[in-house]
Structure 1
Amino acid sequence: MGLLLMLRPPQPRPKSLRRATRAQRREHRRADAEEWGTAQQRGWLLDVEVEKLLLLVDNAGGSRLPILGQIDPWSDTVLSRRELSQLEADIDRLEAVAGDDTQRELVTAMRKLLMNWRAEPDLMLHCYGD
């Protein structure tokens, strides 16, 4: 299971593809794939293993963390710039309890994503759970 963290511009309310033609559905998937590929090239995409993140969050204080302690890794969440400083504080707490190289790599990757977010003020952090 994974939690996908992606920096994206604010998204309009998703339209239902329930009555779309096959061509419209195919075009929608193609556009998503292109956007996700571009995000990955820019460093705006991070795929996190839920178990590793949950273990680290639990060791850092669990639900007492203002942002990471409240994210449900099995549903979608969108974070705005207002929450960036709190999220950085959560990452600091994760870094303090990271016990092995895998956990430290995860913290480093999350810090890099936040640095990219700080450089792009118009983006929001979308968290897509499994």
Structure 2
Amino acid sequence: MGVDVVLKQVSQPGTSSKRRQLTQVDVAPDGNDVFAGICARSKLPMLSRVDPYGDLILTTAEMPQFIAEVNEELGIASTGPERELLAGLRRLAERCAAETSTELHLEGD
């Protein structure tokens, strides 16, 4: 029931959404359900929207809020695996914020 966080490059030549292509650039896997657990207990608006069984796609415009929420959770993280995963998520989010042709996909099982 983990939630993998995947940075994807978006390519869309022309205006047709049918030509939209996604390429995986980087990933922070949630093999031990660490991120899913953080999201389940979080009271923060964006993280509490994460569905461990569905997908949530975040754009560059949403990265400031996502980064702020990840930083807040990082400040209260109690275990090494939580801190390590959140630091990796922040790195992916910062990269997404800097590269406007990317999206962050939060992919549940």
Residues 113/84 of structure 1: CA separation in 2 closer, same or farther (3 Å cut)? same
Aligned residues: 102
Which structure's residues are more often strand, by fraction? 2
> Cα offset for 1:10?
6.2
Partner in structure 1 of residue 106 of structure 2: 127
Aligned-residue Cα RMSD (Å) equals 2.5
Which structure's residues are more often helix, by fraction? 1
Partner in structure 2 of residue 116 of structure 1: 95
Give CA-to-partner distance per residue, 1:18-70, whole Å, 9 cap, x none.
xxxxxxxxxxxxxx9xx44xx2xxxx2111246312333355xx2x3121111
Matched, 1:106 2:88: no
Residues 69/10 of structure 1: CA separation in 2 closer, same or farther (3 Å cut)? farther
Would the aligned equivalents of 2:58 and 2:103 in 1 still touch at CA under 8 Å? yes
Would the aligned equivalents of 2:3 and 2:33 in 1 still touch at CA under 8 Å? no
Partner in structure 2 of residue 86 of structure 1: 65
Would the aligned equivalents of 1:66 and 1:86 in 2 still touch at CA under 8 Å? no
Moved over 6 A (4+): none
Amino acid at match of 1:81: T
Structure 2, unaligned runs of 5 or more: none
Q: How far apart are the structure 1 equivalents of 2:51 and 2:75?
A: 22
Q: How far apart are the structure 1 equivalents of 2:37 and 2:85?
A: 12
TM-score (norm 1): 0.65
> Cα offset for 1:84?
0.7
TM-score (norm 2): 0.76
Structure 1, unaligned runs of 5 or more: 14-31
